[in-house]
Chains A and B, each alone.
Chain A
């Protein structure tokens, strides 16, 4: 991801765009010598960034600086470079190429998160644990079921990514205000050739679809839509990481801890959820970046204004870089989650007497008791604590006279998890495989990434 947003990569794309334009123009009838194309093709990847910077200091224009530098390297091409085009031809189209590739990288990374969490969810599909509402112990769920909640959020992000990638359009060859006037001039009024040039260059650069209309730039609404997807990924990561932080406090589920890792410089016994904490911090950054793209889209005047430029140069690369880091961290934490089944079981056991009271209440009413009376009796005893709750209830005259007391099988946690294991199975075997096939068809498998800190 870092290589993608470097200067060298961007200038390489600009030069390929100039080549595609020149080739398209020649094929459609403009007089451009073969030597011009051959020289340009020979200098796709050897831009001297220092020399281009010298030009930029004088010209105060990055695209013109690179045109001059390329003209020095390929003198035969010099007269024809950028013919009919405006800066946005290279800058916007290159951004679109970079963003599409970056979205594909993120898609592969989300696939890796889903694989890692899917393994954990399957392993712990039927392990009962406390479910929390208001971060207060509520009823039971399973460890695996909770993991599918995290997975589903990432799966929704993956669907958004797939949609965004599939519907992405090229800015194409549109000219200064998007009317293609300069190209119509070059092709002497031949509309078909101008339209064909637009499509031909897009295809040469790997895009099937072109924005049918643009101003000078492609609509900045697309940037906002893309940033919204990245923000969505950050939201899912943050929710996952926050849950891990809460569960690590309960010592139920812990993020991975390396053999020699130090928790705290002052308190050697500590084991902090530092990766999950970092994830929430970085996620906040990406979520806030989304606002920049939204405001840029909202603030564009007429056919274009330049207030987008400096903002986009920061926001887009940073959003992709940080989202990439988030997904690497999420994969690392998901794959290495330490699930402490014994602690989880202890916490469940502590809550079982309370949970059993609901069934006790139902049976009490069936045996002829008054629901409201029995509810009050249970409430009174429950507020005094849980350890011997069921014994106290059995001794309470209200239940004693009904002959109702807790049965052994009412204390089996597995009886309180509802359909959680079956929901995990359905999610993992029905929903996820289909999504994974779409991901694998669109994106190469994510290269493994190491978390170094």
Chain B
């Protein structure tokens, strides 16, 4: 892999450009997802790219897809650049952009809900709990502290907002929209995927505090898990050795970046909105190293 990728440009029809990844159409049944090295913090996309970040997201997803395939079928066809180019020869000149970052997938109709699982109470869930002692609209026990473990974990679905933040909805809302059977399957699969991932990562020093899954329906009507799974971008990763309930936890991956930006905000040098401030090299490097460390710990191998 060479250099960083801020934004991919490929000779395929571009379907979507997200905060971090581009989605291209290969054919009616196949998509190509490319994770760039863009990084966002406090909802603002930084100008600098983080080396290896796109590859970590793609290869970590591929690792989990394969490992958890008995829990839930997935959309991954290949995350190997040679295989991808063999399938789509037109991509051969763009090998550098694709290497490690690209994923060839089955195409599926996206289920219109974000399937969030919370194993620890944090972020917007902690805010909701403090306000109303509920989570995803369901009442919760008294006396939870910030970052406390939720056992069993909670399925907390959200609508997919085109703009702005996703909105939390109740499980009954999903039942009404998709029918009970599909809703039960989404909940069951989300919880099972999360718990399997949580248990595995915990043995390797990473707490996966919460995560977000996306599902799709294949033309045959099968439900599969799509997008990325159990990555630092779709989840909260916390370093297990620094876990202290009762306060907010450091992020395993983005903490150097957040610390730097929070410092600027405190000194009044950044108002927290776009355009983002320039990032010093050492902050970018430290963040890159954190992403690679997460990959190394979970997979037990070095990112190629």
Contacts and interface: CB of A to CB of B under 8 A. Distances in A.
Interface of A: 115, 118-119, 122-127, 142, 144, 421, 425, 428-430, 433
B161 interface: no
Contacts of A428: 184, 188
Contacts of A123: 70-71, 192, 195-196
Contacts of A127: 70
Contacts of B188: 118, 122, 428-429
Given A125-B70, A425-B185, 7 more contacts: A122-B188, A122-B191, A123-B71, A123-B196, A125-B71, A126-B69, A421-B70
Given A122-B71, A124-B70, A125-B70, A429 B184 contact: yes
Contacts of B196: 123
12 contacts: A115-B152, A119-B191, A119-B192, A122-B71, A122-B192, A123-B196, A142-B70, A428-B184, A429-B181, A429-B184, A430-B181, A430-B184
Q: Main secondary structure on chain B at its contact with chain A?
A: helix
B202 to A, nearest CB: 15
A122 B155 CA distance: 15
B189 interface: yes
B17 interface: no
A425 B196 CA distance: 17
Nearest to B182: A429
Nearest to B71: A123
B71 to A, nearest CB: 6
B297 interface: no
B70 A429 contact: no
Contacts of A430: 181, 184
B265 interface: no
Contacts of A118: 188
Contacts of A421: 70
Interface in B163-198: 180-181, 184-185, 188-189, 191-192, 195-196
Contacts of B69: 126
A118 B185 CA distance: 12
A237 B191 CA distance: 26
A429 B192 contact: no
B70 A433 contact: no
- Of A122, A421, A428, A433, most buried by chain B (CB within 10 Å of CB) is A122
Contact of A122 (B152, B180, B181, B189): B189
A126 B181 contact: no
Nearest to B223: A425
Going nearest first, the 4 A-B pairs with the smallest beta carbon separation are A126-B70, A122-B192, A429-B184, A429-B185
B195 A119 contact: yes
A447 to B, nearest CB: 13
